[in-house]
Structure 1
Amino acid sequence: MKLVAGVDIGNSTTEVAIADFDANLKFVSSSMVKTTGIKGTTDNVAGVLLALKEACDNINITVDQLDTICINEATPVIGDVAMETITETIITESTMIGHNPETPGGLGVGTGKTVFLEELEYLHANEEVICIIPRSVDFETAAKKLNEAFKRNIEITGAVVQADDGVIISNRIDKKIPIVDEVAYIDKVPMGMLAAVEVAAPGKTIKVLSNPYGLATVFKLLPEETKHIIPIARALIGNRSAVVIRTPEGDVKERVIPAGKLILMGTKQNKIGIEQGSSAIMDSLSEVWPLQDVTGEPGTNVGGMIERVRQVMGELTGQNIEEIKIQDILAVDTFIPQKVQGGLAGEFALENAVALAAMVKTSKLPMETIAKKLQGETGVKVLIGGVEANMAVLGALTTPGTDKPLVILDIGGGSTDSAYINKDESVKSIHHAGAGEMVTMLIKSELGLEDYNLAEDIKKHPLAKVESLFNIRYEDGSVCFFQQPLDASLFARNIIVKSDEMIPIPTRHAIEKIKMVRREAKRKVFVTNVIRALKDVAPNKDLRSIDFVVLVGGSALDFEIPEIISDELSHYGVVCGSGNIRGNQGPRNAVATGLVISYYNSLRGI
């Protein structure tokens, strides 16, 4: 037997296909493992060896019995986020602090000066105050002192509590006042300063403190000051409760780090500000296409991001930073939760941001280094095959029912590749930055998650709400019942439903919000990239000239991505569906299969 292995090193997975050339190209084994290291670096070798061993074990041979190993040309892609603005504090000379605990007490809006609970007995009647209650005071003592103050006609209009005691204090006092609890940093609350507390009824949201003019009314702000409080008013929209405090003049300063400008170099040079948003950036990119390199304004967010990309790739590939060029970017509008400095309970506010994925063009040296190291480890001849998209076309053509002309979309973890093959078998291909990993990054960012793997699971699996210990309701409204009770810790939680487990989502977001963020992230990344990729390879850049599109790659296995892409392409009359490589691999293994076919054709002189 003459056994040849094709190895596709992807951003997320490494795939192997093995064929017997003595049997007129008969595929005999396949495997897939998680990619080790960043794609296109020598760290990939460990994953390649594991994938090769797994594929060889399937046919009871060892790796050194292979005749040849063909690897793909791997282009590294790094995703990062350049924020529109980073605001260290929300408002000059005043800290506006929003808070949204799970169970506030009372109802309504209260304004007054901040005083400690112990100070109530020294106050005069008819003086409006907001009472500050530290954790050291238990709820019974707090309620007793508040009731005593009410009897002396002290105007307590609201309370701020450090412990989770809002409801039980509210239930024990003689007058209904808004109470915001779970305020972790209560020691930072300035005393004697004007404050406002608002609590909405269950199922409703605050109206006064989330309105810039409401804040201006409460704090008697000048028009210029009202402009500055727009970010905090926006951050409080949708909250059930909030506490806002004005600090002493000069106590807080504002510092803004600019987002900066991208400098795109291609057929000409364009400068575009990040604050103009993703549409303007992508329009500017199309004006200079094909792209040769990208830099960012020094001392800005985007400048720092571009330099980080170069430094990381320089360290990984052993090249000088000057030699590393960015050959493509994808810009997507998003939101980033930013910590409110001076906040009472570690609050976060959503800031507008632009997410960028950058495709880095390095010399061929890294792939040659990988090939050399792999050859040394296995003792088998290693060849660097062709361009990924071209190989994916050859693999996709093994899908039953396909024929030339054909367009493939290889949607992986880091890049979206497209290739068009006509009846004469000439291939035109393109690579674009941004794919599955960028979607995960957007989900993680917009939902304020700390766990990357949780965001990855949200991307890949459907959501549900646990309505009882014996049933869940899926995001599409369907209900599933169980004979055995579910884990009690899942009760009333939003969960990710995997084939073998249910994972609770540790956020306060409603299931509709999580679903919307997930679908929007996929739409913004995949639809944008699919349309521009197809325009680049289509004859005369006309999408209507394309009849058939085959989706390959890991993202084609997603439970909703093929539907989202098919819906979009249906506007152009394009037939689109997921591939089935070799009739049994599904959309996976296209590039690995194509590498083997390409090498087989080259030996036959085709």
Structure 2
Amino acid sequence: MKLIAGVDIGNSTTEVCIGGIKEDGRIRYLSSCKRATTGTKGTLANVSGIKDALEEAMGILNKSVNELSLIRINEATPVIGDTAMETITETIITESSMIGHNPSTPAGAGQAVGTILYMEHLNQGKAEIPYIIAAGSETTYEEIARQINQYSNRLNIAGLILQADEAVLVWNRLKNKIPVVDEVKRIYQIPEFKVAAIEVALVGQSIRMLSNPYGIATLLKLNGEETKAVTPIAKSLIGKRSAVVIKTPHGNVKENILPAGEIYIESDQIYSVNIDSGAERIMEVLENAGTIKDISGQADSNIGNMLNNIKTGMGKVIEETDRNIKITDILAVDTLAPVPISGSLAGETCMEKAVGIAAMVKTEQLPMRKIAEELKRQLHIYVKVAGVEAIMATLGAITTPGTTLPLAILDLGGGSTDAAIIDRDGKVKATHQAGAGELVSMLIQTELGLTSRHTAEQIKRYPLAKVESLYHMRLENGGMHFFEEPVEPKYFGNVVLLHPDEMIKIEEDIPLEKIALIRKEAKRKVFVKNAVRALLKIAPDHNLRSISNIVLVGGSAEDFEIPEMLMEEFANYKIVCGRGNIRGTEGPRNAVATGLVLSYAGGSHGNE
């Protein structure tokens, strides 16, 4: 029995199917496995991950890799995602003109306006001036409270700013209760003797004055031009519980605007669309452009820099010049992104409209041929680049029990969404489009302001809950779950992800409802819209109602909510849609790898 391997190199995972070809040409599926893809899809760095996956799959059979007669790999295109901002306004603060802040543990409630005075200069204060006192972490909270209580008898102390995380400890010891904001790490960059406004909201509420540009203007007595300049600060403080804004009359506030720029789409002619038009308009122009040769961006603009970086980055990886690298498809998605306010004292950001982009990159060289040659050199086994991903996925999907021709498939991967239709005569029509799981992760990370892409990946994969006591948690669907034993105290009061093996604590202080909403919207923007876009391209007469059955395959088809979203969408067209179960054993995974094995035998298959 001849042993062959089908290898599917994806953006995130590399999957292998080992098949035995009998003398009569029938297939016996023997083993399968998946490993993380090493390097960028379609580059020589993939070879290491392929070898690991082959060793694991053959190890299941207690055989070595050199017993394989043939390795068949998919023809695939790298897909790279990045974010293009729409209307980036960077507020550069010199001499600390305006500073926003949002500590998580303030104390007291209300607003206060006064002149900044360092704690060590309390003895220089004047009775007729209201003061906001700034205290460094070198002074203990007991000493801070003692001095504030002592000087309150002769000074008008309206509020307090602390460097340490000790607002509650100080506030509890004050005779006259005032709003206290803490965690201003660079406290001595606050200019002394300048006017400041601080605000602390009641528990469960958010500030109102300092999150409103006219509120800031009221407290700090700003003119029209100054009010316009503080708008980014006000926006950055929306929904926060506490804030401090400081005005220096001689400070400089200026704006640097990098234009969002235009996208140029080259087909039979050059089409252009500005990023400011939004994702819907970008995709409309893209669909009307026909067969795309290349996509580029306006020079010295945000989108131009982003697309150039994608081409340059891919050129370095595959050692090819930029002019030989073409972007043949993009998926644009509207989103919001936190833009840093330069010069602030606590890393403040404000949310600005942005466009998320996934780009499909093609090169004049055939990267999979290089991979095949390197595998052959290292393993001394014949390696063949066997077919287009979508077509191979369709062949694999047919092994799902209950399927019949004609059949459509959606291969939901990490970098791309592939669609194909196979008719009753076995003819396949396919399309390969940018945008899938990695773009979803990028949108989640961007909109939630997460520092780690890994955290965004976990949020994408697992449902949420809020641990409300040591014995119960509230699920994101509103249900309650009770524990037989008390949970670890570290989870108490925190949002967690429900991994099958353990709860994963989300370190960022973000409400459960916000995380769930952004996660679901990111998946709808990417997967639902891209699935419809892909199927419209290949459906008979470009009519979705001409499709009767859709099988979902690929890593993202394992997601706990994406298949349900797609089932709801396609139910409107009376389409039967569901997760595939490749060979009746693999679930939606391994479709391409299985198709590569199946296509070798001309389509006859059996699972003995």
Superposition TM-score tier, normalisation by shorter sequence = over 0.9
Distance change >3 Å, CA 287–CA 96, structure 1 → 2 = farther
Whether the 8 Å contact between 1:92 and 1:254 is mirrored in structure 2 is no
Residue of structure 1 in register with 2:17 after alignment: 17
Moved more, 235-244 or 134-143: 134-143
Whether the 8 Å contact between 2:33 and 2:56 is mirrored in structure 1 is yes
Whether the 8 Å contact between 1:579 and 1:587 is mirrored in structure 2 is yes
Residue of structure 1 in register with 2:53 after alignment: 51
Whether the 8 Å contact between 1:41 and 1:317 is mirrored in structure 2 is yes
Whether the 8 Å contact between 1:4 and 1:68 is mirrored in structure 2 is yes
Corresponding position: 1:587 with 2:588: yes
**Distance (Å, rounded) in 1 between the aligned partners of 2:584 and 2:505:** 37
For residues 314-368 of structure 1, the C-alpha deviation after alignment (integer angstroms, 9 at most, x for no partner) is 1222222101100111111222223322222233332322111100012353111
> 1:535 Cα shift?
0.6
SS at match of 1:206: coil
Q: How many residues align?
A: 603
Residue of structure 2 in register with 1:204 after alignment: 205
Whether the 8 Å contact between 2:97 and 2:251 is mirrored in structure 1 is no
SS at match of 1:156: strand
Residue of structure 2 in register with 1:399 after alignment: 400
Residue of structure 2 in register with 1:107 after alignment: 109
Distance change >3 Å, CA 516–CA 548, structure 1 → 2 = same
> 1:252 Cα shift?
4.3
SS at match of 1:254: strand
Distance change >3 Å, CA 55–CA 381, structure 1 → 2 = same
Residue of structure 2 in register with 1:488 after alignment: 489
SS at match of 2:105: coil
Q: Which amino acid aligns with 1:126?
A: E
Corresponding position: 1:297 with 2:298: yes
Residue of structure 1 in register with 2:284 after alignment: 283
SS at match of 1:80: strand
For residues 148-190 of structure 1, the C-alpha deviation after alignment (integer angstroms, 9 at most, x for no partner) is 33222x3222121111221222222232221111111101111
**TM-score relative to the length of structure 2:** 0.95
Residue of structure 2 in register with 1:8 after alignment: 8
> 1:93 Cα shift?
8.3
> 1:86 Cα shift?
4.1
Residue of structure 2 in register with 1:133 after alignment: 135
**Distance (Å, rounded) in 2 between the aligned partners of 1:351 and 1:43:** 36
**Distance (Å, rounded) in 2 between the aligned partners of 1:250 and 1:183:** 20
**Distance (Å, rounded) in 2 between the aligned partners of 1:580 and 1:418:** 17
SS at match of 1:354: strand
Whether the 8 Å contact between 1:92 and 1:228 is mirrored in structure 2 is no
RMSD of equivalent CA atoms: 1.9
**Distance (Å, rounded) in 2 between the aligned partners of 1:602 and 1:168:** 73
Q: Which amino acid aligns with 1:221?
A: L
SS at match of 2:532: helix
Corresponding position: 1:232 with 2:261: no
For residues 54-105 of structure 1, the C-alpha deviation after alignment (integer angstroms, 9 at most, x for no partner) is 1212222222222211110021011111122444426788733222212111
**Distance (Å, rounded) in 2 between the aligned partners of 1:84 and 1:51:** 41
Residue of structure 2 in register with 1:437 after alignment: 438
Moved more, 433-442 or 124-133: 124-133
Alignment of 1:315-394 (within 5 A): 315-394=316-395
Whether the 8 Å contact between 1:91 and 1:254 is mirrored in structure 2 is no
SS at match of 2:602: helix
Moved more, 184-193 or 22-31: 22-31
**Distance (Å, rounded) in 2 between the aligned partners of 1:314 and 1:232:** 40
Moved more, 130-139 or 337-346: 337-346
> 1:247 Cα shift?
2.5
Residue of structure 2 in register with 1:119 after alignment: 121
Moved more, 401-410 or 346-355: 346-355
Residue of structure 2 in register with 1:214 after alignment: 215
Whether the 8 Å contact between 2:92 and 2:343 is mirrored in structure 1 is no
Alignment of 1:554-569 (within 5 A): 554-569=555-570
Residue of structure 2 in register with 1:81 after alignment: 83
**Distance (Å, rounded) in 2 between the aligned partners of 1:422 and 1:247:** 72
**Distance (Å, rounded) in 1 between the aligned partners of 2:99 and 2:262:** 31
> 1:34 Cα shift?
1.1
Whether the 8 Å contact between 1:88 and 1:256 is mirrored in structure 2 is yes
**Distance (Å, rounded) in 2 between the aligned partners of 1:466 and 1:347:** 28
Percent sequence identity is: 51
> 1:602 Cα shift?
8.3
Gaps of 5+ in 2: none
Alignment of 1:115-194 (within 5 A): 115-152=117-154, 154-194=155-195
For residues 249-283 of structure 1, the C-alpha deviation after alignment (integer angstroms, 9 at most, x for no partner) is 24444322222221121233222222222112112
Q: Which amino acid aligns with 2:85?
A: M
> 1:487 Cα shift?
2.3
> 1:588 Cα shift?
0.7
Distance change >3 Å, CA 577–CA 13, structure 1 → 2 = same
**Distance (Å, rounded) in 2 between the aligned partners of 1:570 and 1:603:** 32
Whether the 8 Å contact between 1:88 and 1:340 is mirrored in structure 2 is yes
SS at match of 2:487: coil
Whether the 8 Å contact between 1:178 and 1:197 is mirrored in structure 2 is yes
> 1:598 Cα shift?
1.4
> 1:302 Cα shift?
1.6
- Aligned match for 1:65, one of 43, 64, 67: 67
**Distance (Å, rounded) in 1 between the aligned partners of 2:206 and 2:380:** 67
> 1:6 Cα shift?
1.0
